Amino acid sequence: MNRVLEMWRSVGQESLNLPNVITLFRILLIPVFVILFITPTEDRSLSAAVIFVVAAMTDLLDGYVARRTGQITRLGKLLDPIADKLLVLSALILLVNVDRVSALVAILVIAREVAVTGIRAIAAGEGMIISAETTGKYKMALQVVAITMLILEGTEVSEWGNLHLAGIVTLYLSLVLGYVSGGQYVLSFWKQIVAKGL
């Protein structure tokens, strides 16, 4: 417990740099998205899709800026995955609410995210940082594409094709990748635990 508190104190002392501000902006966009999509009409769904995509794109932007400027911080490493999870899980819960995603799929996604977050929290308590896996990044990209298509279902964009079917298939692919990357997180955590002799 003391290690966790010490880690948070040191994180709090880090300056709020541009990449972290971008991440916080993503978090602030989530309530806007929720307000728009909680009672979806065609116009509100289009607006919600735009907000969702903009929020998702900031995930690429904050990482790019952090790497380009050498401003990678522990605060950023902690905030970034939290922001991603809040965005995706909010969207999935709302999609369940309007019967576009089954509750079982949402539960499986949420269970994976909670498990990975728990592993990262335990690792952080032991002074370890588990960085995002490439498979996890592909999973996130597929989730964004799937959720965007499902948000746009029932709008004029749906004339382009069966957005529901395409969205669900893409979401299932992201679910498979999510569990593969979850296994990679567990393996990485286990290797670090063994290396430390814990």
- Give CA separation, 191 vs 37, 109, 195, 196, in Å: 42, 25, 6, 9
What is the number of structural domains in the chain? Answer: 1
pTM higher than 0.85 for the full model?
no
Identity at 21, one-letter amino acid code: V
How many other CB atoms sit within 10 Å of the CB of residue 52? 25
Which has the closest alpha carbon to 92: 19, 11, 174, 190? 174
Residue 3 in contact with residue 126, Cβ under 8 Å? yes
Tokens (6 digits) for 162: 């069966």
38 three-state secondary structure: coil
Residue 159: alpha-carbon gap to chain centroid: 29
Q: How far apart are CA 110 and CA 129, in angstroms?
A: 21
Distance (Å, whole) CA 133 – CA 86? 19
Q: Return d(Cα 124, Cα 78) in angstroms, integer.
A: 9
60/82 Cα distance (integer angstroms): 14
Tokens of 165: 């079917």
CATH of the domain at 50: 1.20.120.1760
* Tens digit of each residue's pLDDT, the chain (198 residues): 455 445 445 444 456 788 888 888 999 999 999 999 998 889 999 999 999 999 999 888 877 677 777 777 777 777 777 888 899 999 999 999 999 999 999 999 999 988 888 887 787 777 776 666 688 889 989 999 999 999 999 888 878 889 999 999 999 999 999 999 888 888 888 887 777 766
What residue numbers bound the domain in which 192 lies? Answer: 1-196
56 contacts 74 by C-beta, under 8 angstroms: no
Distances (CA, A) of 152 to 5, 41, 105, 132, 155: 43, 10, 19, 29, 6
